[in-house]
Amino acid sequence: MSERGGNGIAPLLEKLLVRVLPSTYAEALLGDLAEEYMIQCATAGRAAALRRYRKEAAAAILNAVVTNIIKVIQGRDEMRRVSRALAFSVRNIGAFLLFWVIAFALVQTASRLLGGWPATEFARLAACLAGVIIATRMKARLTAYLLAGMVAFTLAELAVRLWSGTHRVVQGLEAQSAVMGAAVLGTVFGVVMTRYFQRGVAA
């Protein structure tokens, strides 16, 4: 092998091979090609040996280039996946924190100015609705679905308690009615929000 890292048989191809392959692997491959070249020279003649040498060197270069391109693409895809996951987390955490601040402010204000139940329940319901709107605007799907479920449950429980005229936590048949109402409302909200997000993706 020459001082420049090639065998001197096909200098241009050898230089390219050294550039696209790791040095250790390139040296080993060039050594194998040189050995094969000498054998072919002795058996098939120099011209045939040179053609075979160039063909195998070119194939090795092409394979290395394709492999490197695939690695670059895979690396970019991995970066995109990480970026999407990070953006998903930031959106959902941010939306939930905004909801929590709004809920805390509304519930505390309702408790101080209007007393306890049902003002605090209406405040919590308003906070959940505001949270759903914020989450959908921020495309924070997980938080939006979670808060929509809270809206359904709060609305159903509030309706049952107002209907029964009780301030205590609902139990028995009232609790079953609240759960059924929450399930129905949650399903409706889920369908509506799914269509909203799908329309946003299509747009």
In a domain, residue 132? The reply is: yes
CB 148 within 8 A of CB 132: yes
In a domain, residue 1? The reply is: no
CB burial of residue 159 (10 Å; 0-12, 13-18, 19+): middle
Residue 24 pLDDT exceeds 70 = yes
Give mean pLDDT, residues 68-93: 84
In a domain, residue 38? The reply is: no
Compare 189 and 129 and report the one with higher pLDDT.
129
In a domain, residue 40? The reply is: no
For residue 71, give Cα distances in angstroms to 15, 26, 59, 81, 173. Answer: 22, 18, 18, 15, 62
In a domain, residue 95? The reply is: yes
In a domain, residue 36? The reply is: no
* Full domain range(s) for residue 145: 89-202
CB 49 within 8 A of CB 27: no
In a domain, residue 164? The reply is: yes
How confident is the model at residue 3, as a pLDDT? 41
Poorest-pLDDT segment among 40-54, 118-132, 141-155: 141-155
In the block, tokens 């946003």 appear at 200
Q: How many CA atoms lie within 13 A of 183 on its CB side?
A: 6
| Number of domains present in the structure of the chain | 1
CB 131 within 8 A of CB 103: yes
User: C-alpha angle with apex 182: 177 to 184, nearest 5 degrees?
Assistant: 95
In a domain, residue 140? The reply is: yes
